[in-house]
Amino acid sequence: MKERLEQIKKEALAQIQASDVPEKLNDVRVRFLGKKGELTAVLKGMKEVAPEERPKVGQLVNETRAAIEAVMEETKAKMEKAIRAEKLKAEVIDVTLPSRKNSLGHRHPNTIALEEVERIFVGMGYEVVEGPEIEYDLYNFEKLNIPADHPAKDEQDTFYINKEIVLRTQTSPVQARVMEQGKLPIRMIAPGRVFRSDEVDATHSPSFHQIEGLVIDKNISFADLKGTLEVFAKELFGPETRTKFRPHHFPFTEPSAEVDVSCFKCGGKGCRFCKGSGWIEILGCGMVHPHVLEMCGIDPEEYNGFAFGVGLERIALLKYEIDDMRLLYENDIRFLKQF
């Protein structure tokens, strides 16, 4: 009996080894382990075995079955692994073939620059507001300390709709509009389109954009203005950026300043970009003129503040090294795709 089982085991293992595909392995299983298989036959022949021997024989049969099954499982696993490996090998692709893109559109460089500026000021607690592009002379000039016949009015080459209504020449009228609403303190920026009657060329456009900034609160100082714009310049042009404040004149601020930043191209050494000076002028600013506060119903003895105005195109042209302003309004897709 024992010999017989040994014989079955030997034969089964030999056949398992000889199997090269899972189907053959299955045949071996049926032949030896199946219901009509050889091991089952052994069990069926138990009645010829002496009763006291039966448990022993039963155990032997089970051991043999386990041994065959183990080898069979192992072989099966190996076989499947080999088959998968074969399949993977057949599925190799050329990963350097071109991609399939959902071709995305591109934002206008002005918008990219604007969103950058908005991000900086929103982070500092500024609200982004808007004002009308066609504006009353009153807001565009008079409330900003530029009365009728003021020479600054000429400097700004205004487009007129009629005597009272103009295409705004600056975003500063939004200052007056927000101050008039009387909700204090104010921290706002007002981006938008402005107009001046300049002929179109590489550096001029009759329509361009500014970003106005205004802070009104108690105890605001020129030092606060300097600190704020320094943060802005470093955020926008990089942490190495230095700022230079130069005295200037704007009718609606006093004291006033123009601000240069160290050239972000050469770091201030002087290059073609900054015309050798190492500095690039980027904005005008100042403490809100007390008379402007008065005209907008704010008591300059209690509140004061600062304002600044940045040319958006100026920033976009500088940051993205665009050499001709006309490109911004042509909308050639080959230009836009570069942003």
Min CB(299)–other proteins separation in Å = 14
CA 264 – CA 10 distance, rounded (Å): 83
Min CB(267)–other proteins separation in Å = 18
* The dihedral sign for the CA sequence 15, 16, 18, 21: positive
Binder to other proteins among 211, 220, 307, 315 (CB under 8 A)? 220
Nearer to other proteins, 65 or 289 (CB): 289
Interface positions, 177-216, toward other proteins (CB under 8 A):
185-187, 193, 195, 197, 199, 206-207, 215
Helix 312-320 / helix 109-123 crossing angle, nearest 10 deg: 110
Binder to other proteins among 69, 254, 265, 267 (CB under 8 A)? 254
Per the CB < 8 A criterion, the answer to whether 297 and 323 are in contact is no
Interface positions, 51-90, toward other proteins (CB under 8 A):
none
Binder to other proteins among 50, 93, 95, 333 (CB under 8 A)? 333
Segment interacting with other proteins (CB under 8 A) among 12-20, 67-75, 83-91, 239-247: 239-247
Nearer to other proteins, 24 or 150 (CB): 150
Element (H, E) at 226: helix 222-237
Number of residues forming the site for other proteins (CB under 8 A): 85
Interface positions, 87-126, toward other proteins (CB under 8 A):
102-108, 110-111, 118, 121-126
Per the CB < 8 A criterion, the answer to whether 220 and 306 are in contact is yes
Interface positions, 124-163, toward other proteins (CB under 8 A):
124-130, 132-136, 149, 151-152, 154-155, 159-162
Binder to other proteins among 69, 217, 235, 271 (CB under 8 A)? 217
Binder to other proteins among 244, 265, 266, 270 (CB under 8 A)? 244
Nearer to other proteins, 25 or 166 (CB): 166
DSSP 21-76: SHHHHHHHHHHHHSTTSHHHHHHHGGGGS-GGGHHHHHHHHHHHHHHHHHHHHHHH
Strand, coil or helix: 209:
strand
CA 252 – CA 172 distance, rounded (Å): 9
Tell me the CB-side half-sphere exposure of residue 156, using CA atoms within 13 A.
24
Min CB(296)–other proteins separation in Å = 15
Among the listed residues 246, 243, 285, the one whose alpha carbon sits nearest the alpha carbon of residue 268: 243
Instruction: Say whether residue 323 binds other proteins (CB under 8 A).
Output: no
Residue 59 Rama label (left phi>0; alpha psi -120 to 50; beta)? alpha
